[in-house]
Structure 1
Amino acid sequence: MGLVDDLERAREAYERREWVAAYDALSDADDSALDAQDFGRLATAAYLLGRQNDCVQALQRAHKAHIDAGETVQAVRIGFWLSMVLLENGESAVGAGWVGRCQRLLEQVPGDVVERGYVLLPVMMRHIYAGEFELASKLAVEITEYGRRFSNADLLAQGLNAQGRMLMYAGRVPEGMSLLDEAMIGISMGEVSPIIAGHVYCSLIEACQEVSDYGRAAEWTRALTGWIEDQPGLVPFTGQCAIHRGQIMGIRGAFRAALEELDRAVARYLDSETPAAAGLALAEAGNLHRICGDLDAAETDYERATGFGYEPQPGLALLWLARGRTAAATNAVHRLLAEPRDPVHRSQLLAGSVEVLLATGEVEEARAIADELAAIADAFRCTALSAAAHQARASCLLSTGEPGAAALEARNAVALWRSLDAPYDVARCQVLLGRALRNLGDDDSAVAELGQARRMFQGLGAAPAERDVLRLVQPSRPAGLTEREVEVLRLVASGRSNSEIAAALVLSEKTVARHLSNIYTKLGVASRTAAAAFAFENGLA
């Protein structure tokens, strides 16, 4: 009776989602005492505790037990889970083998059964990983139909979620987001199994982040956090949840807290069997370190992200720009814009590309990209993208000497970023507005906007942005330097060469050399190092 009681307690712990207790009891039990369903429970508990190898072994035992009992349909269901776990672990060939076995077994089953829908899931995922979205979309519709026909909450959630993501990548973002929300109904009602629920949660939030739908991302991240906290010991999904929390914290201006959360995400991924997923967390950390002025830390983060197969762009190009590597930044942006991408992934590049292009004097191309961003924002109906589009247009209009139009765009951007509680972005747009107002002759209003932006940057710890706005608030030109000579001197202090300064200011190298000669004379120095020292001492760098 003791063994029977232990098994009953293990099953009850499983039903209560006490994964540690369920795993310990089931893994300690004698294999001969476990039936196929017990091995399935053990596999689920192992998966949710991050024990992927134990999960695979338990699933193999469950599959054999069902086969030995002549339970073909149940064996197919277990084979599906094996294929999904192996595919997730990067063992695509072995996973495909299990899909083939499941399809062969289903040939022995008469009529239509829900397991035929399950076997379509790993096939759909392979198409998604290969970027074959049209094929994946057709399978997603079929999976959704199986879910509805058999009242299967797992298939319905997976199918709707996949349909939504595919619609988004086709540029139909509002329709896609509607399906993603519908996929969450079964999860919110507790109808979806834990593993599927975790994947759908993370997929939805990832989709929100991809189109900068920060409000919806924050709402579902809070829900995911609560869902995880209700299941002590849970390991999968915690790293991704930490990334999402870090992203939201960063948007809200809590940079240090965001960096700590992202560090936790990296640690969780490195301790798990999916370390490659750390790339996104490292790229996000790099962006925050760059904003805070810790360029060395940002470069390290970006390098590590690249090592995990994640390209941290356009953040890396902006880092190169900050380091004076103008050519590298420009080349990267041109390459990124030339590569074919779906509208969602292209939208993530555009705002940063405008910033780089304007800094290197490519104003017309920057304006075209800003207009493209505005068109995408209109189609996606996402507030953050609209704010970024107004911001990009304001920057372009300032560069072409249109301060009136720039002021209007900047005001729109400020209002939209404020509605999203994004203080760093609000302050950046206030700088644009201040510059536009100054160019319109309204210096008092300009100083007010710039002063607010400076205080915001200071409170956030965004040192580079604070230094930039300080130069605008206190535009002193010591030693009789002209405004252009101050611009050249600042770039010298940032370590840029004459050719890079020429590219940044759209001047010839001969003109830059002449400015440098005049600067040396006015400052009474004879070297770039001494000139840079003067710039730092006088708050020009």
Structure 2
Amino acid sequence: MSMSGPVRVAVVSPQEVVERGITSMLDDYPDRVAATALPSARSDTTGFDLIVYDTYGLFLDGERELAHLLHETDAKVLIYSRDLRPDLHAQAYALGARAWISMSADAAELVRSIERTAAGEPINEPPSDRQGAAAGLTVREIEVLKLITQGLPNQEIAKRLAMSGNTLKSHIRRAYRKIHVTTRSQAVSWAIAHGLTPPVEPPRISPAPKGPPPPRKEMEGSSA
């Protein structure tokens, strides 16, 4: 990578044991990374090249903290993904995250991922592909489940995917068998739990209104 000196890394996690674990691993590579733990996602990130963000923060704090890091700071963001919470992985992906490292990765792999992300290289594995493939779903069945999760009726799904109603029903039946569900609501619950959710726009923070406040109306009977 073209960056001179070690990558300046900020670590953000709501759990101290995770935060200390990451920084401790990175301390073994002082010539490649310089890690600092931040108290929160809203801390000052000036001077950092990259932020390692623990997806558990999404569970505790909601989307605004990660959205802030992704869209309102200059640092790259590497998602520290928990394998047992694919729903959080999917949520981070929907917000715009495009670089990932599993919590099961060793220190050397973490450092390599940090360097690649800091250099602008996406480490991108859409959660829907990974989780869907694990269940044996085809690409088309994944697309169908995503649209079902959006609440779309079969007629609209068939139109979007340019297929007949009967073909769509065949895809739905096969997908249901593979994920062991029998109803639409069960399919939606399974899809959400396994990261098969459609992308959403990141939350936007409305700017404060500009310009002078409107003039106040004078009370009746007040003197000029």
Same fold (TM over 0.5): no
Give the TM-score normalised by the residue count of structure 1: 0.17
Q: TM-score, normalised by structure 2?
A: 0.33
Structure 1 or 2: more strand by fraction: 2
Q: Going by fraction, where is helix more abundant, 1 or 2?
A: 1
Larger radius of gyration: 1
Higher relative contact order (CA 8 A, sep 6+): 2
